[in-house]
Structure 1
Amino acid sequence: MKTLSPLYIVAVYFLVSLLWLVSSDYYIHWGSPEWAFLIEPLSDICYIILTSLLLYLLIRSSNRRLQASDANYRDLFENNPQPMWVYDPVTLRFLAVNNAAVSHYGYSREEFLGMTKRDIRPAEDVPAFLEDLEEVVASPREVRLWRHRKKDGSSLYAESTSRSLAYGGKPAVLVLSQDVTERISASNRLRYHEELLKSVFDRIPIGIALAGPSGRFEEVNTAFCRIFEADTDGIIGTHFTSLLRPEDARRMAEAFNRRFASSDDPGAPWQELEISVPSGETRWILGKSAMIRDVHNNPRMATFVNDITESKRASREREAVLHELQNYKTILDKSALVSVTDPEGNIVHANDLFCRVAQYSREELIGQNHRIINSGHHPRVFFRDMWQTIRGGKLWRGEIRNQAKDGSTYWVDTTINPVFDEKGKLIQYLSIRYDITQRKNSEERIIRSEAALREAQTLARIGNWEFQVAGQAIHWSDEVFNIHGLDKEKGEPALTELEKLYHPDDLPLFRQVLTDAIAHGTPYNQDLRIVTPGGGVRHVNIIGKPEFDEAGRVVRLSGTIIDINERKLVERHLQTQNEELKKINEELDRFVYSAGHDLRAPLMSVLGLINIAQLDESGAKKDEYMELMRRSIHKLDEFIKDIIHFSRNARTPLTPESIDFAGLLHEVVENLHYMKGARAIQTHLHVTQELPFFSDPKRLTVVLNNLLANAFRYSDPYKPQSFVNVTVTVDDQGATIRIEDNGIGIEREHLDKIFLMFYRATESRSGSGLGLYIVKETIETLQGQIRVQSRIGEGTSFSIRLPNLHADHPADPAPQAETVLS
């Protein structure tokens, strides 16, 4: 109900008064004069009564309307679904609260009315609230965001809208509070996820780029810039084809345009592309693109790129290794009987040669135990010892007599190697066998021939003996006494005395074969050493054969003893010669091709110069020809020196001596100053050696001489100052040698081949191609390792780690030389 305004009341009162005055004056002036004295005061009285009554009616009507409006406002206040309250802006005390505030905040109405606005704020927010209080009172209609505290201690975010009013005749503020906690929380989560997404976008190792329909990049992440070696500003706004090779750019652009023109983009599969980056490096990337739409539903092409250069290179290297392994397997399959069993000994693989020799098909062998080819020749203890060895994770090697499917037997030289997984669990046994049947047959024929010869020739220093197990009685023939150098008249020695006649190192073996023969009936044929009364050592061959009683017990051992001292000496000599011949043949095979070419090239050059000189009758260029011949002969001499160094490294044993690195380096550098341009190169030697260091000085000289000669030889003539830095540090474990130069460097494609025999990374300088090969072989002989780092145009660095070969500093087994690409 609308209340009457003061202006409205005044207007009505004015009109009524004016009407009364006009009408009353009319009656006074135009009525009976005799009644004029009475009418005038009566009109005034009536005027007062009438105006008072009218004013009363107007005020009562206005009050009714005001009460109705106040009731409506109070009903709207109490039943509003949003919390509302009225508070005193001076004391901040609550004057009224609605039902929604009581329900939402958890305080009762009485508790609310006993509190101030400070009481519904967290303690940490009160100072800020008090600071903003004047501004809040001055601008009550402004929407503000506050943090409120409920009765249970929990907090909420509220947006408060205020309005000034009079309450109880005093100034007050009406507040409408809206809980926006969920909205704030959602906004915070959205902001967090946006920041998280941006962080992931920038930090993810996969390159990501967004391009519009024009094909120009609009956004890229850090990984994308790193892959293409460009910064963000350099990529944004450029066309994506500018990053591709020409042969790929047209094809990718056509596909890009087709996909944007299509209403249904099916996506694109992952593709491998080869790219060139500003540094000149060639890289391989794996890329995929997908059509997406932004918040305005505009299409964008998202591209995902991953640098697979290293994996591509590793894959190629892995393929090369697998190819090499396949070649080895092919060779092995043609020459050896190969089988694989599970940990229980069941066959899971057998190669063709195994099947052919055993005369079983592969299907017949798979799943079977190797007992299928057991000939019964070997005792159980033989296989028990074998299994004990391989189950212990050790390699076992021995000769086994097997039986083929047709009943024939064959001998194999067998090596069984346990195979473990990456966790060290035994998973397989790999067996490699070589057919030695012909050799064993020859050995058996030789044994039989030797036995016949021993029986027929009593003068061949062969003696017979017997041993009675029960009484431990020993019987010797005359020749046994002669072999041992004992007097027959003194009789056979007792068993305890007999043991003293054997060499201390061979006595355990003699006891073992004797014990096995008595306990298990195992015959034996063993070479042992005996010690004669004069202190001499002789080699003898003892053959023992057990004899059994009806119960199967060993009651007697009998056999022969042969003086094989001369034969052992001859065998040892032949073995040494064979080993040396084998090594020489292997070395000759490796040198024959490349060495023949490198030896003939200088000689042919000299021969050609001689022919040219003979044709030059004037002799004007004689000195030039002589200089060229000198260079060819010097090159031949350098090559021969390399061959000598290689030969010495392969043949001579290690001779560790105390090493003075400072003196050794100065000597090597001084010897290399004859090289062309060597004196113009600054050579810096830094040696830190406070501990004694032992190694082979000759081999160490060869290593330093080759590396420093290369540093001088491959210096960069276009640099204002060439240098070679040599740093040596000796610690309690060994020595570290680092040789750095700023020469021409080695191209990356050659780094993994420079240690190969006869390999040259460049033809622009002289060299045999043996130097670094000799360095690597020599360092491995010294039980060390070498690393190399190089950048073309910047220089090369060799790092060598050598162990201390002194007896107090035993070295670990030599690791393989390692090449580090850089």
Structure 2
Amino acid sequence: MPAVMRNSDRIIRSKQKATEDATIVVDSSEIIHSINEQALWLFNLENDCSGKELQQLIPDLSVSTVEEGTVIRHFGRNNGGQHFPLFLRKNTFILNGEKYTILVLHKSNNQSMSGIEPQKVLDELLDMKFALDESTIVAITDQTGKIKYVNEKFCKISQYTEEELIGQDHRVINSGHHQKEFIRNLWRTIANGDIWKGELKNKAKDGSYYWVDTTIVPFLNEEGKPHQYLAIRNEVTEHKRVVDKLKKSMQELVDLKFALDESSIVAITDKQGKITYVNNKFVEISNYTREELIGNTHAVVNSGYHPVSFFKELWRTIGNGKVWQGEIKNKAKDGSYYWVDTTIVPFLDDTNKPYQYLAMRSEITKRKRIEEELQYSMSRIINVQEDERKRLSREIHDGIGQNLYSHLITINRISAEVNHPLVDQMLSEASEIIQEVRDFSWALRPSVLDDLGLMPAIRSFLSRFSESYFIDVYFDSTLTKRLGSNVEITIYRIIQEALTNVRKYAEVKRASVTIREAEDTIRVVIEDKGAGFDKEQLLSNGVGLISMEERARSVNGNINVKSAPQKGTTIILEIPR
């Protein structure tokens, strides 16, 4: 040891000899530098323990947090491992640039209080008692558990008077919630001189229950045996209620997640669309491993079936914090395709901005295949109907119509030679029959639709419609090219059916038809400002809504009907290009 340290030893020992107090000197690392004989006796030690940690003698004491010159109460641990109460005071000094602390120790009993500012200690103890009584539920029991003292907060929460509690044990507020082994362990702990901490459910006098976060501190006699217990409690009933509710909610969420994982294809993405979670069903249907999916986007399963605008609208919806629902065709790793009925739910942060998205899907590949087969069958039926209409129209026009026209020529020749009222009547009736046949043939299938296309056919129809029913129809179109035959027939028939409904039910003199051509959609709008309908009335009156919907579906389109009594009707047809 350096000479300077030997010199410090002499100075420290001289300080110890000047007092009869038990003292321990520790360095800045709280390692024992020296210990006097009184301290050795206090801790029942036979040999010097210099060089050891102070924690071995005074557990849970942080010297740096103790205010210098203030007496505090703590617990020491003797050579036999037993805890005993003591008072200590801290003083520091600097020697040769090193900082040391002298701890002056006194065993906590009536005979050891002299000489360490008893009034100051008493004042501090009274202040601590006041603070405890104001902030916590306090009770003191003897070594058998009989209550010796309770404060006002104990009486208030238990609803018992002080007289009803003193002399009783804590069974008076036992709720019966805890098992016997729990209580046995509590008593085993404090009876061994150790502090017990935990939560207890108690029962008040009126039968209500309350929870308390409890600390029970044994007070030990000179033999290290408990002679009484101080119980300090804080009510945590609301906290327990919230925790229990939270646990229940968490369990419900776990159950919900389990149900979702068992029934649905589930994925979670961050706000950029990067996949952060997939369940087993997603892995199974996509044929990708979880490692291949996590960190990727859903572009990995993009089938290319949907247009770019489809996904733009999807992201616009969920990006605004709204739920999106629809059907998506995806592509698995092996190249096979599958359909999923999808619901995407945004999770919003404190600013109502999405921070992640939960996508729940159900496979509908089989259903979509059946729908496609039905749509194909429907398209075939409509095509067969149109072919038959076309054939009948041609036969009526070229057969019956031509024969009637020949008869009209013959009647004209007769009228030139014979002047008789019956001949004039025959001439008039023949002309009317020919016009009706032409109208019937045109209604079945206008030849202009096949020969010249959709625009001339619509204009021709609107002209005939206005002349026949005195309804002015405004028409506007941005179409510049011919469409597919099935699409043109569908648009023509839906306009024809819609205007027929206007004529029968709307009670108006004006209507409008507009056709707009977008990047990936043909949009047709037929509108009137007439009587309008209830939606159910539209179906029950058989005004052709079902027929229009079937025709729209036959070309992958859809019909949207908006109507209300006395507010007119708008029919919107949208067909993908």
Please give the TM-score of this superposition, normalised by the length of structure 1.
0.35
Structure index of larger Rg: 1
> Could you say which structure has the greater relative contact order, defined with CA pairs below 8 angstroms and 6 or more residues apart?
2
Please give the TM-score of this superposition, normalised by the length of structure 2.
0.47
